[in-house]
Amino acid sequence: MEFPLKIITADENETSELAREFSEVLKKGDVISLIGDLGTGKTFFVKSIVSVFGNDDVSSPTFAIVNIYESKFRINHFDFYRIKKVEELYDIGFDDYLNDDEAITFIEWADLFSEILPTNRYEIKVKYIDDTKRKFTIDSL
């Protein structure tokens, strides 16, 4: 997989296949920021990757702020949507999660607090095209 990658998926099956392909480049310590409007499929994309790693019990961390999944890798799954101030992230030890070299960290709504994201990360932008199609732009920063 070469970056930047721009691809339109026609349905959930193609999105799952893209997630599977992307999962092949991931390793411990990686951080992936996801940016897109409500309903574009950010959580579905993460769920598809975590499933590849052997865990099908994935849910949106919107209310919990962070979910942790055990699989082939430990997965930290953040959602910044309900965060009002960056201090809330520091209060739950966000830096510790980012510095965990044994985990892969996904951050939905990452653009809300982009100033605290590591400069070295994958960035995935998801745009809604219609009820089934999405445009994914994946870059390695």
Predicted confidence (pLDDT) per residue in 76-124, tens digit: 999 999 999 999 999 999 999 999 999 999 999 999 999 999 999 999 9
Burial class of 81 by CB neighbour count within 10 A (0 to 12, 13 to 18, 19+): middle
In the chain, the domains with their CATH numbers are 5-140 (3.40.50.300)
CB 134 within 8 A of CB 41: yes
Cis peptide before 4 (omega within 30 of 0): yes
Q: What is the pTM of this model?
A: 0.95
- What's at 110, amino acid-wise? A
Closest listed residue to residue 42, CA positions, set 119, 114, 120, 134: 134
- pLDDT tens for 29-72 read 999 999 999 999 999 999 999 999 999 988 888 778 999 999 99
